[in-house]
Structure 1
Amino acid sequence: MAELTAEKKKMVQESWGLVRSDMRSNAADFFLFFFKRHPTYQKLFNDFKDVKYEELDGNQKFRGHAVRVFFAITSLVDNLDDLDIVVDILQKTVKDHIPRGIKAKHYEDLMGSILAFLEKALGDKFTAAWKNSWETVAAVILSVVHAEIEADLTPAARENVQNSWGLVRKDMRKHAMGFFLFACVVVLFSYNGKIRSVMSK
């Protein structure tokens, strides 16, 4: 992963400054852009999942959600000089969205769309250096997202094991006998293999 230098942080903050100058319009425009690239993702937003794409821009809940997301991004950008805060914000965001079925792929597509939107919206102002800086920030963000999602899998996996073992415990005698017979078969075949090996010598 490329190093997130002070210069790159500054470039990201400068470029985002152009976006936040008209937060409401740019936020709505971004989500329209995002849903155009990923139409199925609109279904993940209960407040406007059934609103026709052509009617989204005039939907109050859609515009409100778009602005809230852009304020969240602004918090990340503003705190790039203190990555501990960035990590804390991201961890909370990921934890809040895991129960809603949001996976790493969704964040990857979101970050990819943000970069593409910035390139489109800012035009020639979005220089190669700015793009490279955003790519570095995106890599940092996604590394935290992936780590948090993977960490959350551990308790879920543990719960699955506990639930499956609970089914076994309901009829321990039956399953214990089945396991014993299975073990006997394994030992028998192993033992027969040794006999055949000795006899063939």
Structure 2
Amino acid sequence: MAVLIKLYEENPNPKDVQMAVKIIRNGGLVIYPSDTVYALGCDITNTKALERVAQIKGVKLEKANFSFVCEDLSNLSDYVKQIDSATFKLLKRNLPGPYTFILPGNNNLPTVFKKKKEVGIRVPDNAIAQALVRELGNPIVSTSIKDEDEVIEYTTDPELIYEKWHKLVDVIIDGGFGDNVASTVIDLTGNEPVLIREGKGSIEI
């Protein structure tokens, strides 16, 4: 049964953030708000937790396209190959924001992702998401939570999220109503940026 924690984006309570992160650090799965839709995630360093996320999403872990949610760009070199200054400026201009940027991964990727040549990097413009990652000390591997109802493509109501997910995850952060538009995904692994999915972020980057 998941623990439900209410956090306010204007001022996330540090004690409640610590309580949530303790669960995540111990291998727990978390559902939390971002600047787009609510996300399902876990500690990047915990393989068992990563496997649980993949199982819930019905994908093989080594083939899963999960995002690495970071607090800012300072830890980029931990998982991404060296990028040129034009790419870095583009990232700095648009992050934090509702984007997932696909970048070439380096040899420091967790073992389960070693075969992947690229990694999706997210820096949400959301104080709750940033507080969780900051307290954890490393990225949260994340994926959007979808609703089976195709009309409401994403689940936005924390109460409904809890109803549906409380037996599958360990902690659910109620950060108020979420958005129902996912992030814009842009591939930066080639010579020119390539739009993979148009979402909340403007494609005029």
TM-score of the superposed pair, with normalisation by structure 1: 0.31
Larger Rg: 1
Higher helix share: 1
TM-score of the superposed pair, with normalisation by structure 2: 0.30
